[in-house]
A = this chain, B = another copy of it.
Amino acid sequence: MQKLVEIYDTTLRDGSQAEDISFSVDDKLRITEKLDELGIHYIEGGWPGSNPKDAEYFKKVRKLSLKNAKVVAFGSTHRPKTNVENDSNIKALISSEVPVFTVFGKTWDFHVTEALKITLEENLELIFNTINYLKKYAEKVFFDAEHFFDGFKDNPEYAIKCLKTAQQAYADCIILCDTNGGTLTNEVERIIKEVKKSINTPLGIHAHNDSDCAVANSIIAVLNGITQVQGTINGFGERCGNANLCSIIPNLQLKLGYKCIDEDNLKKLTEVSRFVYEIANLMPFKRQPFVGESAFAHKGGVHVSAVRKRPETYEHIRPELVGNRQRILVSDLSGKSNILKKAEEFGIVLNPDSPEVQAIVDAVKTLENEGYQFEGAEASLELLFRNTLGLKRKFFDLIGFRVIDEKRKGDEATLSEATIMVKVGKSIEHTAATGNGPVNALDNALRKALERFYPELKRVKLRDYKVRVVNSGKGTASKVRVLVESGDEESVWSTVGVSENIIEASWQAIVDSIEYKLYKEKTKKGEV
């Protein structure tokens, strides 16, 4: 019998407290659906009493047909000098019409007297009345014991009294919150053991990562009998974030044998992580355990040759179990074995002892020193391999381009226009295009010029465009690295360009993208 652990996601509430994160109602609904697909048990959608956006979310979320998850509304114990039934926050909770409410209350005496400015006894009444009243309107009421660990360290008797009060009001789960995130793993274990002596209501853990121990704290809690884990996707959350469910779920399930979500769903974890980054409009954290792009990436020469033979030599789990993949990185640190592995992927046959392999190692090293980075631009890397091996094919010559950005008066928009002249075989094409900004204009003009000769380019779309300053500190004269992601119906490829001039860097990446596409097309037709 596998032991079950309930997963409670608060990405939409606590997660949205993170710096740089601001979800629209529509974003929240899309994330709700995604979390439901993943098999999360509880999705805390928001705090309906706190802002109109969350209220709107609860109206709309009812229309979704969820398969696994129950949507939860979050709120606080009722206000001191108000009756519970007249409290506007409590009314907002009820009108959210969800099956589960989570109510947070104070358990740290200092917060009761300093922040709420009421007596310790009055706070117990707030806890009891709120839970007791809300039980009539919901399937389940959970109690978030705010600042529980700090409270326990300060005044264990009172902290436990708060939990007992929640238990007397028939809370369905009492969640021990490390609100300030400062508690260390050994303390979490010790305190939970104490709590279990006087509380038999099911317990949950809600950890924050201020000590960099939120995942370990959540796991030690489960090992000590806690049955609900609260956290967020990617560890989003106020300050240093909440406990990261993308780490907790696979740790519990793959290493400790607990059951959280379906094994098949676990394979969606990486996709869900990246989806949430995308919606939050944040760069994924590459080194993120389990789901990060670098989580199973190998660079050191020793490691690369070992994992090529036996992945378990340097991988703690098989990346496929969480939907991630092994990556072999090419860099100046790495030896020839990385280059050989890459060549294999590209379908290029290389003799390990040939001088060509060293030539590629050197070429990569030189360009990386100039600020290029091929880890995210495999199409440019493949072109580099082929060029170094003398397999380059030229599809067009640039005769010249000019890009003009113009603004007339302070309150008018800036207009961008590009002209371009290219030569294909003996034909010359001279054309122009506008665009949203100089790079877009140039991209449009180049495509327009080449489509006459290579109609397959009509199907290619630029999917993403990223700019990164490579050597910060020089103001607008810094070197920039441009990464371009292109795609058609069949595939997606990425290219890179580097220059002090953003137009030049973008040009390189766009040209690589087009040459890569044309090269692949010729290969397909057997013309190369």
Q: Contacts A239-B297, A314-B179 hold; do A212 and B215 have CB atoms under 8 A apart?
A: yes
A399 within 8 A of B: yes
Q: How far is the CA of A303 from the CA of B256 in the complex (A)?
A: 36
Given contacts A255-B211, A289-B240, A465-B475, contact A504 B413 (CB under 8 A): yes
Bound-complex Cα distance A292 to B238 (A): 12
CA distance A501 to B468 in the complex (A): 16
Q: Shortest distance in angstroms between A88's beta carbon and chain B's nearest beta carbon?
A: 15
Q: How far is the CA of A435 from the CA of B476 in the complex (A)?
A: 9
Out of B20, B179, B294, B301, name the residue touching A240 (CB < 8 Å): B294
A186 within 8 A of B: yes
Chain B CB within 10 Å, residue with most, of A255, A437, A439, A468: A437
Take A179-B314, A397-B410 as given contacts and tell me if A287 and B235 are in contact as well, using a CB distance cutoff of 8 Å: yes
Which one of A60-68, A166-174, A327-335 is at the B interface?
A327-335
Q: Is the C-beta of A83 less than 8 angstroms from some C-beta in chain B?
A: no
A404 to B, closest residue via Cβ: B404
A407, B414: Cβ atoms closer than 8 Å: no
Q: Give the contacts of A185-211 with B (CB-CB under 8 A).
A: 185-186, 209-211
Asked if A452 is an interface residue, CB under 8 A from chain B, the answer is no
Q: Are B19 and A299 in contact (CB under 8 A)?
A: yes
B502–A502 CB distance below 8 A:
yes
Q: Which chain A residues in 288-325 approach chain B with CB under 8 Å?
A: 288-290, 292-301, 303, 306, 309-310, 313-317
Any B CB within 8 A of the CB of A184: yes
Taking the closest CB of chain B, its distance from the CB of A166, in whole angstroms, is 20
Check if A102 is an interface residue, CB within 8 A of chain B.
Answer: no
Contacts of A296 in B (CB 8 A): 239
For A437, give its contact among B301, B314, B501 (CB under 8 Å): B501
Write out the residue numbers on chain B whose beta carbons fall within 8 Å of the beta carbon of A475.
440, 443, 461-465, 484
Write the chain B residue with the least CB distance to A224.
B186
Q: Does A115 contact B (CB under 8 A)?
A: yes
State the Cβ distance, A332 to closest chain B Cβ, in Å.
Answer: 6
Q: Is A503 an interface residue (CB 8 A)?
A: yes
Evaluate whether A210 and B407 lie within 8 angstroms (CB atoms) in the complex, with A18-B287, A223-B186, A414-B501 already known: no
Which of B115, B244, B405 contacts A501, CB < 8 Å?
B405
User: Which single residue of chain B is at the shortest CB-CB distance from A180?
Assistant: B316
> Given that A247-B212, A400-B406 are known contacts, is A416 also in contact with B503, CB under 8 Å in the complex?
yes
Tell me, in angstroms, the Cα distance from A286 to B503 when the chains sit together.
30
A22 touching B332, Cβ below 8 Å: yes
Contact with B along A207-236 (1 / 0, CB 8 A): 001111101110110010000000000010
Q: Please give, as numbers and ranges, the residues of chain B lying within 8 Å of A100 by CB-CB distance.
A: none
Residue A251 CB within 8 A of the other chain: yes
Q: Is the CB of B212 within 8 A of A251?
A: yes
User: A143 within 8 Å of B by Cβ?
Assistant: no
What residues on B are CB-neighbors of A469 within 8 Å?
Answer: 464-467
Partner of A210, one of B51, B289, B306: B289
A390-430 vs B, CB cutoff 8 Å, 1 = contact: the mask equals 00000001111111111111100110100000000000000
Chain B contacts of A315 at CB under 8 A? Answer: 180
Interface assignment of A473: CB less than 8 Å from any CB of chain B: yes
Cross-chain contact A288 with B240 (CB below 8 angstroms): yes
Could you say which residues of chain B place their CB within 8 Å of the CB of A399?
408-409
Tell me which residues across on chain B come within 8 A of A465, comparing CB atoms.
Answer: 469, 475-476, 478
Residue of B nearest to A183 (CB): B316
- Tell me if A285 counts as interface (CB < 8 A to partner B): yes
0/1 per residue, A433-448, Cβ < 8 Å to B? 0011111100100000
A503 partner, pick from B115, B299, B414, B484, beta carbons under 8 A: B414
Q: Which residues of B contact A184 (CB under 8 A)?
A: 216, 219, 251, 255-256
Instruction: Kindly list chain B residues whose C-beta atoms are within 8 Å of the C-beta of A211.
Output: 215, 247, 251, 255, 289, 316
Residue A139 is within 8 A (CB to CB) of chain B in the complex:
no
Interface residues, chain A, with chain B CB atoms under 8 Å away: 16-20, 22, 50-51, 111, 114-115, 179-182, 184-186, 209-213, 215-217, 219-220, 223, 235, 237-241, 244, 247-248, 251, 255-256, 278, 281, 283, 285-290, 292-301, 303, 306, 309-310, 313-317, 329, 331-333, 368-369, 373, 375, 397-410, 413-414, 416, 435-440, 443, 461-473, 475-478, 480, 484, 499-504, 506-507
The 29 listed contacts between A and B (C-beta, < 8 Å) are: A18-B294, A20-B373, A115-B306, A181-B289, A185-B185, A210-B290, A212-B215, A212-B289, A238-B300, A239-B295, A239-B298, A239-B314, A278-B472, A398-B410, A399-B409, A401-B407, A402-B406, A404-B404, A405-B501, A413-B501, A414-B499, A435-B476, A436-B477, A436-B501, A437-B476, A439-B502, A462-B475, A465-B469, A476-B506
Known: A19-B293, A238-B298, A402-B407. 11 other contacts (CB 8 A): A20-B375, A115-B309, A180-B314, A211-B215, A212-B289, A238-B314, A413-B504, A439-B476, A461-B475, A464-B475, A465-B478
